[in-house]
Amino acid sequence: MPASREVVFVDGVRTPFGRSGPKGLYAETRADDLVVRVIRELMRRNPGLPPERVDEVAIAATTQIGDQGLTIGRSAAVLAGLPKSVPGYAIDRMCAGAMTAVTTVAGGISFGAYDVAIAGGVEHMGRHPMGEGVDPNPRFLSEQLVDGSALVMGMTAENLHDRYPSITKERADAYAVASQEKVAKAYADGRIQRDLVPMATRRAAEGWGLATVDEAPRPGTTLEGIRGLKTPFRAHGRVTAANSSGINDGATGCIVAAEDVARELGLTPRMRLVSYAFAGVDPEVMGVGPIPSTERALRLAGLSVDDIGLFEINEAFAVQVLAFLEHFGIADDDPRVNPYGGAIAFGHPLASSGVRLMIQLSRAFAERPDVRYGITTMCVGMGMGGTVIWENLS
């Protein structure tokens, strides 16, 4: 039995995230081509990594059909020009797909099965709407295994408002405006662009273009401007398009390696994996998932929430982030939380988002050498949460 090894995050990149739909950045771009671009950029940015030393390519997608099918980790690796000897596979844990791709290959690295792996995710929600082709078993409802609202994410967010009456629509809207402001500032300060890989786009009517920035952010968003938006999931509800993540297209990827191998190859580890955990909750309030997964990850690491200096929380809905913060006694505007903004502004291409969180945490670590530990965490459809704790190596 090999001794376990330390696992490190070396580098991560992503495409700009586009808005889904016929007018979005990637309306006529294939999902697998988004992944290919990410893999090629990772290899370009890390010339010390021989392509044949990549032992696995794990790519997540929530809807694994069409151009997100065909075992996308393997097919994208071949399309990206990696040696045919490099295997790959697809993985699905809905929103936490890329996060699970990272933790899965990390387990293999720690065990000694791999030295270096590429992990990431893609979601082209314009081509593949959430739930496309899904056939839920009728027993879910006929046997009352879940409430009917469990299958509609926006309704689960409304349920969460019910469970946390202190989290008002006004608080959710204020959090959403702050996310937009933080993203605008991060862009102005050049903190986002350095990990975006320009992506060629094409439209039959207009020809070729180049995507270089995220399409979804709405700088200048104000409380007054979003206060009267419709609440599509419940009459007189609290969840709106402004305090939720959007429907988006994009891909992410990262290099994960054994720490000794990374240093042998001249790669610079940015952060070390300390622990991770996934947890299940009632599907109709899936947004609370990050609470038990974080408690478990902290327990496994022998840490408390007070040891965490930076939090990257996926903003599927403002209420879900606020529930996490309220549980752990963290202020809505705590500067440790999503310092560059989050998915309410950037967008949330489901399976890809976990690695976006890791990319942003690694950049924040580099600017904060005084911070030792950080967390990436997210809620997951069907009632789950995922959390990874990282140690700063900057």
Where do the domains of the chain lie? 146-192+274-392
Q: What is the pLDDT of residue 374?
A: 98
Of 8, 9, 2, the C-alpha closest to 111 is: 2
Catalytic residues: 95, 348, 379
Q: What is the pLDDT of residue 148?
A: 86
Q: What is the pLDDT of residue 2?
A: 59
Of 119, 120, 103, the C-alpha closest to 387 is: 103
Stated pTM of the model: 0.97
Q: What are the structure tokens assigned to 101, written together?
A: 């791709």
Side-chain-facing half-sphere of 99: CA atoms under 13 Å: 33
**What separation in angstroms does the CA of 74 have from each of 31, 87, 132, 200, 240?**
14, 6, 23, 22, 38
Q: What are the structure tokens assigned to 36, written together?
A: 């290919």
Q: What is the pLDDT of residue 172?
A: 98
Superfamily of domain 146-192+274-392: Thiolase/Chalcone synthase (3.40.47.10)
Q: What is the pLDDT of residue 205?
A: 84
Side-chain-facing half-sphere of 230: CA atoms under 13 Å: 2
Cβ–Cβ under 8 Å, residues 201 and 209? yes
User: Is the four-CA dihedral 364, 277, 281, 309 of positive or negative sign?
Assistant: negative
Largest CA distance in the chain: 61
**Positions of the chain with pLDDT under 50:** none
Q: Provide the terminal-to-terminal Cα distance of the chain, rounded to the nearest Å.
A: 32
Q: What is the pLDDT of residue 151?
A: 84
